[in-house]
Amino acid sequence: MKHPLTTLLALVAGLAAAATATAQKFEGLALTPPMGWNTWNTFASNIHEELIMATADAMVANGMRDAGYVYIVLDDTWSALERDADGNLQAHPEKFPSGMKALGDYLHERGFKFGIYGCAGRKTCAGYPGSWGHEFQDARKFAEWGVDYLKYDWCHTDTADPRDAYLRMRDALYAAGRPIVFSICEWGQSRPWEWAADVGHLWRTTGDITDCYDCVQRWERGWKVILDLQYSLVQPHDGQNNGIGRYAGPGHWNDPDMLEVGNEGLTLAESRAHFSMWCILAAPLMAGNDVTKATPEVLAILTDPEAIAIDQDPLGKQGWRFRAETGREIWVRELAGGDWAVALLNTGDEPARLSVDFSHMWFIEGERRIRDIWKKRDAGTTAQPFTDVIEPHGVALLRLMRP
């Protein structure tokens, strides 16, 4: 006969296993960084169902869906200002009169996935109902509507602990049973890279982006400022292990915020460099422009298959800054199969002839062929330095390939 203590221990172990089995996130949903489009950067609260449907139609016609941008995410202000009599979230009656289920169906029928925004606090950042105390009810409603992606914000949270709040919503999503990518948006305040790999599939690392190169507004920053911030978040910087890159990988990504590519505060060169750097960072690629009006030049950036292949590289290793000097930065990213990506950034305000000398890159063994991704040409081998004239705040994005 078993000793009663053995039986008790087995029971406790069984209960613990059962608890772990229910408290987990959906695995395998974001093995590469999620790609899609989000309403916020261009439209803020001016959203409605015709805009979402027109955007989806445009993304089919202009090749964005087929390039990988499948998550269409409604950010803040999609809901009614009040919950219904049963406490359920409901669609804003004027903006989304057909309701969320119908909109989700429209997107699914066209090969997209449906993303929505929520907030851990009592209210969202724009003052709409938050999920505080309604987590399980809201997760069930999202699942019922066919939601595939939840961005979950952090306004009006009083003294709540982010770990508790995001764990609670993760468990609610898991209990609702529909696989949903969980996007944590607490702006890096509690260092989510240290605790969120088992909670969400991506986590914001900083405050909000805006469409400039390096401006700083009260809460919003240009992409270069965010790039530097994300780089410096964790000390010490020891070669390949610098910044917070080591915390990212398949299923759990650092999120330096959505793209401003194509928005009016950026030159075309700045948009191209912003996109290139987000690919080096293994960042989620959430377009934030009006895709119904995107120019061919902007679409060429967003849909470039060679740049996207760097972002979506299956090894899932985030890149890092190899050199930073006045007027020039060099970033590198290890790719699957022994390839490397290199970005040569002109941080100066004038066009400049810049070089990369690969003989300094001790971590790359053997010679590689160089592919210049934006110029669409082969550019010799790593036996010679690469040199080109680069526009102000522009970039050369290279793929170093095995011969």
Residues in contact with ligand GLA by the rule CB under 6 A: 40, 75-76, 124-126, 153, 185, 208
The C-alpha atoms of residue 7 and residue 5 are separated, in whole angstroms, by 5
- What minimum distance in Å lies between the beta carbon of 208 and ligand GLA? 5
Lay out the sheet containing 285-287: strands in order across: 253-255, 202-204, 181-184, 149-153, 113-119, 71-73, 35-38, 285-287
CB of 9 to ligand GLA, least distance (A): 46
Evaluate whether 159 touches 132 at the Cβ level (below 8 Å): no
Distance of CA 39 to the CA centre of its chain: 14
Q: Cβ of residue 114: shortest distance to ligand GLA, in angstroms?
A: 17
Closest CA to 345 of 231, 234, 265, 269: 269
Looking at the Cβ atoms of 208 and 313, the one nearer to ligand GLA is 208
Q: Between 283 and 397, whose beta carbon lies closer to ligand GLA?
A: 283
Q: 25: which DSSP letter?
A: P
Q: 76, 148, 208, 255: which one is catalytic?
A: 208
- Beta-carbon contacts of 332 under 8 Å, excluding residues fewer than 6 positions away, are 280, 319, 320, 322, 340, 341, 342, 343, 361, 363
| Cβ distance to ligand GLA smaller for residue 153 or 270 | 153
Q: Has 153 been annotated as catalytic?
A: yes
**Active-site entry in 76, 138, 148, 153:** 153
Q: Which is nearer to ligand GLA, 114 or 322 (CB)?
A: 114
Q: Work out how close the CB of 140 gets to ligand GLA at its nearest, in angstroms, rounded to a whole number.
A: 23
As a whole number of angstroms, the distance between CA 355 and CA 236 comes to: 27
Q: How far is the CB of 221 from ligand GLA (least distance, A)?
A: 12
**Amino acid of residue 309:** A
Smaller CB distance to ligand GLA: residue 261 or 390? 261
Catalytic site includes residue 304 = no
Residues acting as catalytic residues? 153, 208
